[in-house]
Amino acid sequence: MRRRDEKFPENGFEAWGGYMQAKIAKLEEQFCVSAGKEEALSDIFNGVSIYVNGFTVPSADELKVLMSKHGGTYHTYQRSDDYIIASNLPDTKVKNMNLSRVVKPEWITDCLKSNRLLDYREYLLFKNSRTQRQLNFSKVIKNNDSIPATSKVPDVKNEPDSFNKNLIENSNIIFENEPSMQDVLPTESELDMKKSSNLHVQTVSKAHSGPVTKTAADPNFIAEFYNNSRLHHISQLGACFKQHINDLRENSNFQFPARVQLKEKILNSNNFNTFTQLKFEKNKVIMHIDMDCFFVSVGLRSRPELRGKPVAVTHSKGGQGRPKREGVDRHAEFNLYKQKQIKKFSMSTGKPENEVVIETRIDSIGDENEKYGSMSEIASCSYEAREKGLGNGMFMGAALKLCPDLQTIPYDFDGYKEVAYTLYNTIAQYTLDVEAVSCDEMYVDCTELLADMKVNVQSFATMLREEIKNKTGCPCSTGFGGNRLQARLATKRAKPDGQFFLTEDLVEDFIYEIKLRDLPGVGRQTAQKLEALGHITCGSLQSLSLASLKSQLGNKTGAQLFDQCRGRDQHPLSFLTVRKSVSAEVNYGIRFENSNQCIDFLKQLSAEVHSRMQQFKVVGKCITLKLMVRDEEAPVETAKFMGHGFCNVINKSTTLNKATNDVEVITKEVLAICKKQNIDPKEMRGIGIQVTKLEPLNSKPSKGTINKFLANNIKSEIKTESTASEGVSVISGRTIEKRTPTKVKKVISTKSPLGKRRGRPPKSLKLLQSSTRNVGPSKSVPSTSKNLPSTSKKVMNNFLQGQNAPRDLPYKNPMIKESLPKEEPPVKKEPKGMIGLPWKTVRDMLRAWLNSDQSPLQYDVNMIVEYLQEMILTKDIEHLFILMNFLRRVTREVGSDVWLKVYDSIYEQVQNMMVAVYGKKLHVFDD
DNA sequence: ATCCTCCCCTAC
DNA sequence: TAAGGTAGGGGAGGAT
């Protein structure tokens, strides 16, 4: 299907100025340049790495070439130590970003002109208080601070900040492309001071007491904190990929042409015949797939020299002593945690408190100013590090104690996202019976896939892992079993970089040895309880009756554990996720001096929640405020820098009469609750806002018949779902209380999946159609592709929308817009534009375009439409399908109205052409 | 019995 | 220094 070869079009566009055009030109230029000679021209930018944001002159592609020619590095995704090159930035961005490294592109060109690295601070895009970092001895601020950060007139020149100290100080850190001191810190500070004489400046007296630290009282705190929070990113990415699977399923016709190629590959591999046929419980094949120490693996892609060494991803490096903070009492604080834990344990087990021995992660950490005192957490560590006893979540101090030669690498959140997309999209070529767990982990029901491909599971696993490794540069492990529990445990056995098949005959012996703590759902508390009952392993727990387990741990948990320790799992995979709550919380850096700061923060956090609700298109009825307040026994100064320390947690909620996402309402309720608690703002250590009892936001005006059509469709989905669930429960012979009715009710109550567009006509049926757990009536729905007339290219059928789109009556399709026929496709007498470019290149260009922060130009839109229409004419439907899906997803990610309109416009014109050429619409998208 | 609310626990 | 978020499941106990 890859009929286009990698050639560039003859250059012939006369109009200039469109983003895409610029891109094309640069692309070509870059191609020519890199095709030319490879040697560097200078090393001016040695150690400098840049990220280009938005439209610049020279363009991003040009800058990329320039950097590589002159010793620098260009990043497609922004990293923390990049200089951000930009000529202008949208307001929304500016508000949420650290501007101290946002530099005009002239910096690069001027450096080249003068053939040396100039002080980037001369080229800051924004020069005001926001771009100024903390100073050690004096701080100069503008007298008039009311000039908005977005002011296009950098009329003010402040004293530049001293170069970020910690970048230099820690020599054992691996920093990529860290600028060296002499390069970037010329003695121009004094110069700057003189230049600034035309301003009113004042020295902040407070500055003498040391660096000013960022707290939640700072206006930009939330954004900066979230930007750096691994937990925030983990959570966001998880939600993102659950949605991604929802979207893919919604837009798919559940044909998987890539299976053919994979099968061929498998059949051609020489080891194919060496595998025996495996049998899993109930003849289902569930795969669990998990990237190996994900964050580390992504980081190591660009640091091959660290492979095989103990490596950890963390913010800080530890090792050095920390500045002594007055009033810290680690022992007192840790003791409080420990006592609480002991008390809890004693209560739940009946063991007297003085007999309880508990080990916590704070036991092994040194004093704050010691070598091993760092309380920075490890997000992920390599297997070499795990061998020495390190684990995720461990403090750096403790980790260094166990492993003094630990190498640390910084976070690369964009990298994680990129790799995760590749992972998911790789799987999605073969099946969409996928339950996303997180950005690096999912369950896949392979039953249908393997039956269809008629290949053995071992070959499939081998090839799939190889493909993922090739595409992402990161290893992963897969486990297979007859249910999700078995698959999951198999993966654990398979790690690292392996695969394991927990076949029916192995389950009993295998599960017997499994530690209870390793069961999903059994955490520290449950494991402790079970241990108190005398059970460490699944085998041992099998001796406990269902009744006693239930009485010890509750009905559901008890029953689940009873199943789990026998290797059973009745929970089917769920391919569709429905959001039930939206929340935002910050338990770091919360330090208020007065109630105004607190109120201001609550407002900001309310706005954050509001914006997320908008993003997910929901309104909610119940608003909960969570407050962490310093325990009166806890030291005022926390052990962890800016941490929350030992706290009491307060949760208070209000239920409204009507669901809302109004920021004013949320703020008002939140402030009211907070006020009622009567808490000294100085004692606050954490704040969270949650909205529950969600309903989908009905933004679209009613469309009469269409809506009816939708409602019916959704009902049928619910019905099928419930039958399916019951079917499963009967088959598994389990005692399942009210599970099914509850589930059904949940589905009904949400009507259509939240956080996504309503209105998806034939999708619901298809959604169920290929789900292997459905044995009910949905099976009888005929395959949509059968209705289509045959085409020369068989695969094309996979992408055409079959239902409701007969050749001669396109307007009967309820999803076709009224406006459809009114304009002709744009005439393309003009330059060839993008036509001829490989689709992958176009995809990358689209991505860059969407990330460019530029307003889309009509010209560019037209050019893209032309390109896509050309694909229709040349019958390259497969890639058209990919590009359209891509465009849809990405425009929604950007989420702004203007981009959604761009998408709609492109969509409409493409479908016009589809109808004109094939009498059918491309099978994608509902709106 | 079942539902609602306020938690706690777990996972990534 | 350091970035301790977020969503879902479920139990306890009171309200219906």
- Nearest protein residue to nucleotide C7, judged by CA and C1' positions: A581
Per-residue HEC secondary structure of A69-113 comes to HCCCEEECCCCCCCEEECCCCCHHHHHCCCHHHEECCHHHHHHHH
Q: What is the mean pLDDT of each run of 10 residues along chain A (927 residues)?
A: 28 34 45 46 88 78 84 74 79 61 89 90 71 32 29 28 25 29 28 28 33 81 94 97 94 94 90 86 97 97 95 84 80 85 79 75 72 92 96 93 94 95 96 97 97 95 96 97 98 96 97 97 94 95 95 94 96 94 97 95 96 94 96 93 94 94 95 93 96 82 24 27 28 26 30 30 26 28 27 33 27 24 30 68 78 71 80 75 81 75 79 67 59
A441 is in an annotated binding site: yes
> Is there a domain that residue A225 lies in?
no
Question: Do A71 and A98 belong together in one domain?
Answer: yes
Query: From the alpha carbon of A232, which nucleotide's C1' atom is closest?
Result: C5
> Is there a domain that residue A283 lies in?
no
A224 is in an annotated binding site: no
- Nearest protein residue to nucleotide B6, judged by CA and C1' positions: A651
CATH code at position A766: 1.20.58.1280
CATH code at position A680: 3.30.1490.100
Closest CA to A19 of A73, A84, A87, A68: A87
Question: Do A838 and A734 belong together in one domain?
Answer: yes
Question: Do A692 and A788 belong together in one domain?
Answer: no
Give residue A788's pLDDT.
26
Give residue A919's pLDDT.
59
Count structural domains, chain A.
5
How far: A557 CA to C9 C1' (Å)?
9
Q: Tell me which DSSP letter residue A868 carries.
A: H
Give residue A907's pLDDT.
83
Query: From the alpha carbon of A624, which nucleotide's C1' atom is closest?
Result: B6
A926 is in an annotated binding site: no
Question: Do A785 and A690 belong together in one domain?
Answer: no
Question: Do A603 and A731 belong together in one domain?
Answer: no
Helix axes A546-553, A524-532, angle to 10 degrees: 130
Give residue A850's pLDDT.
79
Domain extent at residue A873: 705-753+756-918
3-state DSSP call for residue A691? strand
Question: Do A734 and A835 belong together in one domain?
Answer: yes
DSSP class per residue in A664-680: HHHHHHHHHHHHHH---
Query: From the alpha carbon of A519, which nucleotide's C1' atom is closest?
Result: B10
CATH code at position A555: 1.10.150.20
Give residue A125's pLDDT.
78
Question: Do A610 and A671 belong together in one domain?
Answer: yes
Question: Do A799 and A718 belong together in one domain?
Answer: yes
> Is there a domain that residue A167 lies in?
yes
Query: From the alpha carbon of A693, which nucleotide's C1' atom is closest?
Result: B4
CATH code at position A374: 3.40.1170.60
> Is there a domain that residue A19 lies in?
no
Closest CA to A509 of A532, A535, A542: A542
Give residue A805's pLDDT.
27
How far: A773 CA to C8 C1' (Å)?
22
Give residue A740's pLDDT.
29
Dihedrals phi, psi of A695, to nearest 5 degrees = -135, 150
How far: A557 CA to B8 C1' (Å)?
13
Question: Do A672 and A730 belong together in one domain?
Answer: no
Give residue A681's pLDDT.
95
Query: Strands A434-438 and A407-409: what pairing?
Result: unpaired
Token couple for A426: 């790789």
Question: Do A826 and A741 belong together in one domain?
Answer: yes
Give residue A483's pLDDT.
97
**Residue A789, preceding bond cis, omega within 30 degrees?**
no
The residue among A381, A404, A427 that closes a domain is: A404
* Cβ A493 vs Cβ A480: under 8 Å: no
Chain C positions with any atom < 7 A from a protein CB: 1-12
> Is there a domain that residue A636 lies in?
no
How far: A754 CA to B3 C1' (Å)?
24
The residue among A214, A249, A277 that closes a domain is: A214
- The residues of A annotated as belonging to the active site are 441
3-state DSSP call for residue A514? coil
> Is there a domain that residue A233 lies in?
no
Q: Tell me which DSSP letter residue A813 carries.
A: S
Question: Do A559 and A692 belong together in one domain?
Answer: no
Chain B positions with any atom < 7 A from a protein CB: 2, 5-12
Give residue A615's pLDDT.
92
The residue among A214, A234, A250 that closes a domain is: A214
> Is there a domain that residue A344 lies in?
yes
CATH code at position A124: 3.40.50.10190
> Is there a domain that residue A153 lies in?
yes
Q: Give the whole-angstrom CA distance, residue A56 versus residue A62.
A: 10
Q: Give the whole-angstrom CA distance, residue A397 versus residue A418.
A: 31
* Cβ A880 vs Cβ A918: under 8 Å: no
CB < 7 A contacts with chain B (nucleic strand): A 231, 234-235, 238, 344, 437-441, 519-527, 622, 624, 649-653, 655, 738
Residue A747 identity: V
Question: Do A810 and A884 belong together in one domain?
Answer: yes
How far: A738 CA to B3 C1' (Å)?
14
Q: Give the whole-angstrom CA distance, residue A203 versus residue A811.
A: 71
